Every structure is written in C-alpha cells, then in structure tokens.
Structure 1
Amino acid sequence: MSATTVLVTGAAGYVGRHVVKALLDRGAQVVATVRPGSRADVDPRATVVAADVLDPDFRLADLGSPAPATAIHLAWQDGFTHNAPSHLLRLTDHFRFLTGLADSGVGRIAVLGTMHEVGYWEGAIQADTPTNPLSLYGVAKDALRRSTDIALRDRVELQWLRCYYIYGDDRNNQSIFTRILEAVDRGQTTFPFTSGKNLYDFIDVAELGRQIAVAATAPGVTGTINCCTGDPMSLADAVQGFIDTNRLPITLEFGAYPDRPYDSPGTWGDAGDIRRIMAEFG
C-alpha cells in the first residue's frame, strides 16, 4: 500500500498496540494518541502524541497538519468492565470527537465495535443482525454505532469494526486466559470453571490488529464489518488448548460454577466480508 497517514486513538491499549504495528508494517504513517501520562509501549516507528481526544477542548489541529486521511478510533474507558457507568457517561464525548474528525476533513473513519452490541444471539452474527445489548458497554457501543451512522454516513467513508472474543498478549488482557495466568502465579494447581460448552469466536489480538489495519484502509469499504475468524470453538477447548500450549501446571475444575443462563450456547461472527477484504487488500 502507498504511504498514507492514519490516526489511531487508544494506541497504547490492548488492541491499539497491535493495530499500530500492523499499519506500520503495511507502510502507513501512523499518528498514535495515548492518554497523558501513559507508560505503555507503542511501536517506536509511530509518531506518539499524548492527548485526551475525548476532552471537549481537544482539536484535531493540536496533532499537527495536514489532517490524517484515515482515523481508527479504538479509545474506550473501562472496556473490560461491562456495566461501568462511564460507558454511557462518556458517550457524548465519543460522538463529539468522531463528528469533529469529519468537520476537520478526515475522509475515512473506522470505529471499534463489539459483539456485546448484539446481546443474546444463537449462531452466526451478520453485519445486519438485530441488536439488543444486555450491558452498559453494549448499549453505549450500539448507540454510538447508530448515531454516527446517521450523522456521518453521507459525509465520510464510515466503518464499524465489530470484534469478538480476543486472546493473546494475555498479560495485558483481562480475559479468562489472563485469570489463569494469574492463578498460576499465585501457585494454584486447579482453576474453578464452568462446563465450558459455550461456543465463541476466538481471535488472536495480533490477527485482529491486522484485520483492523487492512479493513480500515481498504478504499471504498464501508459499513459494519465483523473482525473475527468465523470459526466457533468451545470455551473448554480454547482454554484447555491455552493451558497445553503454554505448559501451565494447572487443571480445569469443570462444573465448579454453573453456566450463566443468559449466555448463548453458541455465537460467532460471520467472517465472509473480512475474508474477502483480507484476500483483496491484505
């Protein structure tokens, strides 16, 4: 791909660091924003700027000129705490920032979404699957998706990149894999678990970073795109595989916790679009 400038917010976050690396590996020039005071590592090839993009006084011009061709908005507070009030309290800040990008001349905007927008669903999630979120995180993300579509779809090339169950780089995550590593650190030899029968779409964070980098810079590609594998796997198989691969001295205690009645027995992303995008532009 030819060199183009891409703005990445939340660049020091769990997903952000992998997106920045993937963009740089593809030859993009990256302006990476991090929260003021952040000490997280960001690829040194990027131009790193400490800025609170959700502050009402933030202006894109503060990052320098000209305006980036593409913006990938990953920044989100309390992403691992699904019922934190901050999701709704900061919703207007995200909307103001995204519409401000369009006002400043950014022509392509990609925003990170989540399967939690959909709520309870059995089977493959399509781009147009009806949404009925069951957490404040899902409600806020879905509201941002709907509102930016109304406000910006006729002004910019707009993408909503919906992600699923992310693993990898697990010391910087807060997933079941992270909790297992922490249990091993504490010297536990067993880990209380559910039945593990539920099926999910697990994607390595490095692969997710590549999918986001390719999709967000693919000319003419707009709308909701599932960033996923499309291959459902049981939670038990995924976790046991993680333990075996990393040779962890811990055993799963199946059935120690009941399965949650509001969890789908199986839900995953339809990967048809992202596979086509990766084949054509990757």
Structure 2
Amino acid sequence: MAQALVVTGAGGYVGRHVVSAAADLGYRVVALVRQARNGEIDPRAEIVEADVLDPSFDLTAILPVDEVAAVAHLAWQDGFVHNASSHMANLSAHYRFLTTLADLGVRRVAALGTMHEVGYWEGAITAEVPTNPVTLYGIAKDALRRSTLLSIGDRIEYVWLRAYYILGDDRRNSSIFAKLLDAADGGQTTFPFTTGKSLYDFIDVAELGRQIAVAATAPGVTGVLNTGSGVPESLADRVERFILENGLPISLEYGAFPDRPYDSPGIWADAAAIRALMAASPFAKEN
C-alpha cells in the first residue's frame, strides 16, 4: 500500500485542494475532518471524522505511524476573521497536536502558516524576515511557528509553509473576490473600494494545494518555506482582472474606503525555493 499523507482540515477551503493534489501524486490520502459532508472531498481519499485539537485524539488509532509519509496540518478556525478570539484560544491545542506527532514518531510534518505572521514589511519576504504581527490571527500563527520549530524542529523533518493572498474557488472563501460575487448576485453595479495600489502575492487555491502537497512530502525540506506565486500585483489590477474574467457587471468605486495605515505598499513571497520544488515535481510535466 502507498504511504499515507494525513491532511487535517481536509474539508476546508485549502484542504480540499491539498487532498486532490496529494492523490494525484499517488499518495494514500487520509482526510481528517470534524464533520464529513457529501461531495466535499475527493473520493480517492479516506475520510475520517476527528477533532485533532481534542486532547484525546490519537493518530495511531487511525493508522500505524510507519505508514505515514507526512502529516499536513491545515486545520484552523476563523482564518478569514483576523481578530477572532479563537486564534488565541486554540493555540495551545495546535501546539499539543503538533508536538504529539513528533512524540509518536511521525517522520515528517508540515504546518500551514500565513503572511500575516510578518506584519508590516515592504518587499519580498524570505525565511529570515523578522516578524511583528498586528492581528490575533498573525500573532497566533507566529507563536505556533516559533514554539514548534523550537520544540520539534530538531527531532523530525518539520516544514512551516507560509501562505499568501489566496483566491479561486471563491464561493468558499470570505475574501474580496467572494464579496464581489455576492454583490453581483445582489444586483449591485458598483462596489466600494480602496485605492487598490498595494502590491500582493496572489495564488490560486488549486496551485497552492499542489505546492503544499509537494512541499509537505519532499524529503529534507524543513524550516520556513514560502508557498506563493512570488509575483507582486496590485490589488486593483487583480480585482479588475477578476471582474473581467467572471463577466461581472460591476465597477469599482476607488477611494470609497481609505487604505489601512498598517498595510504595506508592497509585500510578496520570495518564491525561489517553492519554484524549484515544483519544477522537479510530477506537476511540472503538466505545464
């Protein structure tokens, strides 16, 4: 039997795409979800209902550790609500889950981080960029990264996958792109907007899923790894392109909202490492 990639949060916005990508790579995918819903997850996966943040959760009750190629920990509550109290409330449970995997002898673990760990920064983000998060989401992710790298980073192969501005599959997220679709559904022809001048790193969620599946299972890849496009694009240009691609009868009201003072004029991933991994992966043959 093929080695297993265990995916937590497998029914989530990102998780569903990681499951499909891992199955495409030939892994036996064990998809952990709190509650299974019909048709949500690729049928090639083995779906297991479990709360990995519960202290009683035991991975070995699902499959032997020696059958696990890697665990990709994607589960996270309220990822689109950056100052939700749940981020800090669940932090210790995430720490316990990840450190317990190392205690059990899981050889390789990947955890999903976020650009929001960094806070204000201008330019490309490398693994060495200092972090100074300004939201509870960023603070919690940053604390989890720091604590787990310290606790298990020298015991197992542990990679922290830092994600950027995700879009695609937009009916399932809470981004500006989902809000534009809702506005069009509601008959709006204008949409209040900022100046849109800030540059971001946009990545389609399906491509992110492929990057995570490859990076999570790549032997020897450890530490902080950016998962993104590495291409800075203004929010205005990306939103205008989204409107055009989806044929939305909406025009943007530039300047209706002020730009937030803590937003960087330009922040994106240094994507050299993930590009090299993807170029050497089976997915490179598809392009």
For normalisation by structure 2, the TM-score amounts to: 0.95
Alpha-carbon distance in structure 1 between the residues aligned to 2:186 and 2:73: 36
Alpha-carbon distance in structure 1 between the residues aligned to 2:38 and 2:81: 21
Residue 12 of structure 1 corresponds to: 11
1:29 aligns with 2:32: no
Residue 55 of structure 1 corresponds to: 54
Residue 3 of structure 1 corresponds to: 2
Write out per-residue CA displacement over residues 52-111 of structure 1, whole angstroms, 9 at most, x where no aligned residue: 000011111232334522000000011111111111111110011011111122100000
1:93 aligns with 2:99: no
Write out per-residue CA displacement over residues 103-132 of structure 1, whole angstroms, 9 at most, x where no aligned residue: 122100000000000000000000110000
Q: Alpha-carbon deviation of 1:277?
A: 1.2
Q: Alpha-carbon deviation of 1:40?
A: 6.4
1:211 aligns with 2:211: yes
Residue 248 of structure 1 corresponds to: 248
Q: Alpha-carbon deviation of 1:154?
A: 1.6
Unaligned runs of 5+ in 1: none
Residue 81 of structure 2 corresponds to: 81
Alpha-carbon distance in structure 2 between the residues aligned to 1:150 and 1:38: 36
Q: Alpha-carbon deviation of 1:271?
A: 0.5
**Equivalent AA in structure 1 for residue 202 of structure 2:** F
For normalisation by structure 1, the TM-score amounts to: 0.97
1:218–1:281 Cα contact (<8 Å) kept: no
Residue 172 of structure 2 corresponds to: 172
Q: Alpha-carbon deviation of 1:276?
A: 1.2
Residue 148 of structure 1 corresponds to: 148
Residue 229 of structure 2 corresponds to: 229
Residue 116 of structure 1 corresponds to: 116
> SS of the residue aligned with 2:93?
helix
> SS of the residue aligned with 1:69?
strand
How large is the RMSD of aligned CA atoms in angstroms? 1.3
Residue 285 of structure 2 corresponds to: none
> SS of the residue aligned with 2:112?
strand
1:127 aligns with 2:116: no
Write out per-residue CA displacement over residues 126-157 of structure 1, whole angstroms, 9 at most, x where no aligned residue: 01100000000000000000110111012110
Q: Alpha-carbon deviation of 1:37?
A: 5.4
Alpha-carbon distance in structure 2 between the residues aligned to 1:37 and 1:216: 23
**Equivalent AA in structure 2 for residue 278 of structure 1:** M
Alpha-carbon distance in structure 2 between the residues aligned to 1:139 and 1:63: 32
Residue 266 of structure 1 corresponds to: 266
Alpha-carbon distance in structure 2 between the residues aligned to 1:36 and 1:241: 35
**Equivalent AA in structure 1 for residue 5 of structure 2:** V
> SS of the residue aligned with 2:54?
coil
Residue 103 of structure 1 corresponds to: 103
1:279 aligns with 2:279: yes
Alpha-carbon distance in structure 1 between the residues aligned to 2:158 and 2:91: 18
Aligned residues: 281
Alpha-carbon distance in structure 2 between the residues aligned to 1:27 and 1:236: 39
Residue 136 of structure 1 corresponds to: 136
1:12–1:40 Cα contact (<8 Å) kept: no
**Equivalent AA in structure 2 for residue 174 of structure 1:** S
**Equivalent AA in structure 2 for residue 171 of structure 1:** R
Alpha-carbon distance in structure 1 between the residues aligned to 2:85 and 2:63: 33
Q: Alpha-carbon deviation of 1:4?
A: 2.0
**Equivalent AA in structure 2 for residue 229 of structure 1:** S
Alpha-carbon distance in structure 1 between the residues aligned to 2:91 and 2:143: 8
Residue 41 of structure 1 corresponds to: 40
Q: Alpha-carbon deviation of 1:260?
A: 1.0
Write out per-residue CA displacement over residues 152-180 of structure 1, whole angstroms, 9 at most, x where no aligned residue: 01211000000000000000011000000
